[in-house]
Amino acid sequence: MPEPLSTHTERIAACQQRLLGFLRVRVKDNAAAQDLAQETWAEVWEHVETYDPERGSFWTFTKIWAEFVLRRHWEEARRQPIPIGETTDLFRDAHRESADADLPAAATGDSDRPLWGTASRPTASEQWIDTAAGLLELLCRAASCTRPPHEVVAFGFNRLDWTPREIVHELAGSVLKDLTARLETEYAALAPLPTLHVAFCPLRSKMSSRLGDLVRDPRTRRVYANVLEHTIGETTLREYLPADGRPEDAIVRWWDSVKREVIKEILAAGRGPLFERAHWKMRQG
């Protein structure tokens, strides 16, 4: 027997604030969030008879429709051309940024200038415009982050679409020095940026260090006590895998550690194309 409409009205009222919070952080401004909330409620109301409390909470049902509305919104934005007149600055900047991205910092004579160039100024079309400089920033930050190098190397193969299982089964026996060289070669084959060798430089240079000289965190030192005195480039990935538990889970944890460190570093640095991109979104709120 269908539930009375008043029950659904109460459920909707209970989820309204939560839905707005869910949408606010996923779109560029509050007005867009309000519009999408309206669209979501229209969809929910239209399909409310299909809601079955035995299959999940009303919030889960609402979120499915919110995600549908969001995907439609992003897809529509992606199809839109950029209105002429609104983008001249963006493309002037993006063009300069792209040109900068081809030059190593050393070549410009400005050692303080980051390798990935100047900040971009995104527009409403940013969902399908991410400049190569932004991704180069991620690569540079990942390659130079303070996570142990084996985590970064394993993460690099993730960006080449390797699964944890493939990494464990096919790469675990290789030394990190060889894996780093292979990673760089295969990345360059897919993304032939002129500055790629500079981006990989920090990771490459760590291969001749002892792990104990790079890792200061006491907990990490305890975990890898057996390899602290080894030269990093001569160690194999297998030496870092835990004796107990699934090795694939360890690989996923390493990837996650690198991601968290890089994202927090970008937020803390307060500069660079990616920070500017995120900050621009913030200002629209």
Partner 1 sequence: MTPDQELGHATPDELLDYFEAKLPDERERVIEEHLAVCNACTQTARQVFSLHEVWNRWTARAHGEVYARDRLRAAIAQAEQQTTNPLWRERLRAWRLRWAGRAEAALRLATETSAEVSRAAAETLDALTRPGSVLVFAPVRQAGPVRGEATEQQRSAVLSTTLRPGHPRARVVVEAGQSGTVTVRVDEVRPGETAPLVLLSGMTATRTAVLQVKEVEPQPGVAYAIARFDDLPPGEYVLAFEPLES
Q: Decide whether 81 or 173 has the Cβ nearer to partner 1.
A: 81
For 231, phi and psi rounded to 5 degrees? -75, 125
Q: Site residues (CB under 8 A) for partner 1?
A: 17-22, 24-26, 28, 59, 78-79, 81-82, 84, 87-88, 91, 94-95, 98-99, 101, 125, 128-132, 134-136, 138-139, 159-161, 186-187, 190-193, 259-260, 262-264, 266-267, 274-275, 277-279, 281-282, 285
Non-local (6+) Cβ contacts of 247 within 8 A are 164, 168, 172, 241
Least CB distance to partner 1 at residue 237 (A): 19
**Three-state secondary structure call for residue 18:** helix
Between 223 and 278, name the residue whose CB sits nearer to partner 1. Answer: 278
The least CB distance from residue 15 to partner 1, in Å, is 10
- At 143, list the tokens: 């390659």
Q: Considering the complex, state which of residue 91 and residue 230 has its C-beta at the smaller distance from partner 1.
A: 91
Give the span between the Cα atoms of 98 and 188, in whole angstroms: 17
Cβ 108 to partner 1 shortest distance, Å: 18
Q: Closest approach of Cβ 227 to partner 1, in Å?
A: 27
Residues 6+ apart with CB under 8 A from 23: 33, 36, 37, 40, 66, 70
For partner 1, the closer CB: 13 or 84: 84
| Residue linked to tokens 């130079």 | 144
Distance CA 145, CA 203 (A): 9
CB of 47 to partner 1, least distance (A): 21
